[in-house]
Amino acid sequence: MARFDRRAVILGLGAAAVAGASLADAGAAPAYDDPDAMYAALRGKRGHQLKIGGGTINLVFADGAPGLARGPVLSWVRTAAMALTAYFGRFPVADYGLLVIAEPGDRVGHATTFGYAGSATRIHVGVEAGQEAFDRDWVLVHEMVHTALPDLPRRALWLQEGNATYVEPIARALIGQLLPAEVWRETVQGMPKGSPHAGDEGMDGTHAWGRLYWGGALFWLLAEIGIDRDTRGTLSLRDALRRINQLSGGNTVTWSPERLMAAGDEATGTTSLTALYERFAATPVEADLPQLFQELGIATSPDGQVVLDDRAPLAKLRERITSR
């Protein structure tokens, strides 16, 4: 089976497009496309309560999710929640609803996260999905990352999607689900998709998926480097994001991008985020990616394998990013 491009996604907060028909297409079950229907299902149906990292996850199998084994799904959700807890120091929200919708297929399907009536995600899972599918899944962690930051105006969607794109593999690496080399392999492959094209303006208001996800992820990687530089390696982007999560309580509130940047800067005692946001929002930022990866000590061998150079100028930062 050809590998699906993990960032070629439906535009919209937390939407991750994966091929495959839903049971609703066959007339077997509601699709819960209306988020109000999702919230009603989470409120009205008995779920599994998982308490992880100080948060409570209410996991509901939509319409009983016929054909979908409970045990592997519960284990998959616990693992994703542990990854979020490792990165943010706690599960990002006190209460989180997760509606699992069974569909044909052998992998995790598309998902969307909302916050206007409580932090919640609906996600499609193939009834034939096995342990390998759950182990390699990135979608659920990506969606859970969306719960950690406050909602932002539509013009700043790139900050939200970029943050989930950047944080997801790192969070998985923190619990040993991904090797650091795999995190950086995805980064090297993905970042060029976020480069601006001729005629592009600043990131605010962009609708191009590559810029939304990978251009946004580049912002957060450069923020990581900037905070490390400005604090002489004493603090990190993780410290800023943890503080933003603590102050906001997650995606059930709406902030401006400026307020988000100010909160992160307050945590690090710098202006790293604000200065970088002002550049990205208003002007097309073309990064020298080969030079950036060289400074981080990330190289690709002729056979496509990632080689990490511990002598590179930013090698220690690279190591800290994927370490607890």
Q: What pLDDT shows up at residue 5?
A: 36
Residue 40 in tokens: 């009603």
pLDDT in tens, 136-186: 999 999 999 999 999 999 999 999 999 999 999 999 999 999 999 999 999
pLDDT in tens, 221-260: 999 999 999 999 999 999 999 999 999 999 999 999 999 9
pLDDT in tens, 85-124: 999 999 999 999 999 999 999 999 999 999 999 999 999 9
Instruction: Identify the three-state secondary structure at position 38.
Output: helix
* Nearby residues of 173 by Cβ (< 8 Å), 6 or more positions away: 179, 180, 182, 183, 322
Euclidean distance between CA atoms 235 and 212, whole angstroms: 26
- Is pLDDT above 90 for 84? yes
Euclidean distance between CA atoms 278 and 281, whole angstroms: 5
Model confidence pTM above 0.85: yes
Q: Are the CB atoms for 207 and 11 separated by under 8 Å?
A: yes
* Nearby residues of 30 by Cβ (< 8 Å), 6 or more positions away: 24, 37, 62, 63
Q: What pLDDT shows up at residue 73?
A: 98
What is the rounded average pLDDT for all residues in the chain?
91
pLDDT in tens, 3-31: 233 333 333 344 333 333 333 333 345 66
Q: What pLDDT shows up at residue 20?
A: 33
pLDDT in tens, 36-80: 999 999 998 889 999 999 999 999 999 999 999 999 999 999 999
Residue 239 in tokens: 């410290």
Residue 225 in tokens: 């480097």
